[in-house]
Amino acid sequence: MIRNLLLYIDPGSGSYLIQVIIAAILGVAFYFRNLWWKFRSLFFKGKKDQPPKNDEQDV
Amino acid sequence: MTSKMSEPLHHPASYRDPSGFVFQVNGIYYRQVNQPYAEDYEKLMSSGLYATLVRNKWLIEHQEIPTDPAASANGYKTLLPAQINLLSYPYEWCFTQLRDAALLTLSILTQSVGQGMILKDASPYNIQFVNGKPLFIDTLSFENYDAGRPWVAYRQFCECFLFPLYLEHYCGIGIGKILTAWPDGIPVPTTARMLPRKSRFNPGALMHVHLQNMVKPAPGKSERSSFSQEKLTRLIQHLESIIKKLKPLPAAHSTWSNYYQETILSSRYLDEKQRLFRDFMTGLPFRTAIDMGANDGVFSLILAERPETSITAIDADGACIDRLYNTLREKKISNILPLCIDLLHPSPAIGFRNRERPAFNDRAGADLVVALALIHHLVLSANIPLRDIPGYFATMTTGWLIIEFVPVEDEKAQELIRNKDRWHQPYDAPSFEQYFGEYFSIGKKSRIPGTERTLYLMKKHQP
């Protein structure tokens, strides 16, 4: 729930909603990416079995 | 603090945030913290966040002073921040400067969230370039973090940082032009319309621009939502990752890029000019200098070799300034501030009553002005009469001027008048010396060997 605060800048109509949507999309992408790396590590054990850091992701 | 103080002058740009304001007394800037911000300010200081940010050289350092020069009824504390020599604004920055400022904002946001606070705004005017790096200067931008609430300044961050960077990345319009037209950021619908269709295939642009443009809450419905620190962190990391990958569109439109590398005058001319320039600089008492039409900053770098100097390198060409800024970061040179300033259209005074952001010419000034290979462009290309130029330089320097006169016979000057059958007369060395003689006396004068050009060292007449 968003607290009713006195804000000095207008967050902009829809700006909270879009953050919720983007965070959800990123969450799903993150979930599948981890799943993919787990799956990959079954076949390439010992080699690059860590998911790339966030900087390297393409989403 | 002196015992006899002048009246406090409220800074005309410091009125938006009721948490406090900046004011000036006797030429020193202070920041007032107002009572309603007391709790957040104390948390900033006691949580260790301020110490961490200052240690990282991300946030401006301040000291609390015991007196209250502003004498405001609402005052809680008065801060004396480190003083900044020359303020610059986002519409004067090159692409990489705006990108570094954006990344600094996100780094500070991440650090703040980790220590229980959050940035309540994300304005690029909160950042100044000090010692070659961006520095966050608004000590009152931090507030208590409520993990259930998304970031209040997300839209502002997009409009002020992300969208100008995207427009430069996809369209190569020029940060300065964009942010001069939209000093408070480019609205989402405008950005969405300006970006090319291919940007829809980029996940970052698709989400932060095009999707954001489509999302509208139902009318009359308040925006209620649950959020979390994990979600916010993911959002910040995503913004960081896309901003790091953005690059300015290759500068096909750059007018002056590689001027010194490609010019047919090249090598020997440059060597001789550097030799004379160093000779003129020897023993010259200056602490600040402005290199006008600095190009890649070859001569700014020479000026900056002298310790304790502060150099401003200006050029209209964003690609040149971007390259200079990157060179400075690589070589860790901290006493040059590169800025995109077009002398024909220097940044105007903007904001409420035209008083929030002063014009460039009212902000800048130095002990020494350097104007190399510039005057022929002003007279022959821009049609500024020669007699109008010395007065301008005299307003920008307190003492010295190093200027190169390029006569009309010079091959570069000939290129400028190739399609012109007339230009402002007179334009010759005797008239140059006569007009400049009204404001300056000639200290040294030397022909650059192998050219028709002459380098002058001039001293401004003192009243």
For the segment B298-321, what is each residue's pLDDT rounded down to a tens digit? 999 999 999 899 999 999 999 999
For B399-431, the DSSP string reads EEEEEEE--TTSHHHHHHTTT-S---S--SHHH
Using CB atoms, which residue from A8, A21, A59 is nearest to B238?
A59
Does the pLDDT at position B275 exceed 60? yes
Q: Which residue has the higher pLDDT, B30 or B2?
A: B30
Buried b (16+ CB within 10 A) or exposed e, B360-369: bbebbebbbb
Optimal mutation site among B14, B145, B155, B229, interface A, most CBs of chain A within 10 A: B155
State the Cα–Cα distance between residues B403 and B455, nearest whole angstrom. Answer: 6
State the Cα–Cα distance between residues B253 and B274, nearest whole angstrom. Answer: 28
CB B428 within 8 A of CB B412: no
Question: Lowest mean pLDDT: which of A28-32, B196-200, B258-262?
Answer: B258-262
Average pLDDT over residues B360-385: 96
Which residues lie below 8 Å from residue B52, measured CB to CB, with a gap of 6+? B111, B115
Span A37-48, pLDDT tens digits: 888 888 776 555
Buried b (16+ CB within 10 A) or exposed e, B212-237: bbebebeeeeebebebeeebbbbbbb
- Contacting residues of A for B212, CB less than 8 Å apart: 14-15, 18
State the Cα–Cα distance between residues B130 and B405, nearest whole angstrom. Answer: 33
Judged by CB atoms closer than 8 Å, whether chains meet at A12 and B155 is answered as yes
How many A-B residue pairs are in contact by the CB < 8 A criterion?
Answer: 105
Judged by CB atoms closer than 8 Å, whether chains meet at A14 and B240 is answered as no
* Per-residue confidence (pLDDT) for residue B220, from 0 to 100: 61
Tokens of B316: 């209209």
Does the pLDDT at position B261 exceed 60? no
* CB half-sphere exposure, A5, CA atoms < 13 A: 19
Judged by CB atoms closer than 8 Å, whether chains meet at A2 and B224 is answered as yes
- Contacting residues of B for A15, CB less than 8 Å apart: 150, 154-155, 212
Q: Which residue has the higher pLDDT, B143 or B215?
A: B143
The SS3 of residue B33 is: strand
Judged by CB atoms closer than 8 Å, whether chains meet at B217 and A25 is answered as no
Judged by CB atoms closer than 8 Å, whether chains meet at B216 and A14 is answered as yes
pLDDT band for position B83 (50/70/90)? very high
In chain B, % of residues over pLDDT 70: 93
* Per-residue confidence (pLDDT) for residue A55, from 0 to 100: 45
Using CB atoms, which residue from B17, B151, B240 is nearest to A19?
B151
Average pLDDT over residues B411-430: 91
What residues in chain A have their Cβ under 8 A from chain B's Cβ atoms? Answer: 1-3, 7-9, 11-23, 25-27, 30, 54-59
ipTM for the predicted complex: 0.83
Give the residue on B whose Cα is nearest the Cα of A59: B203
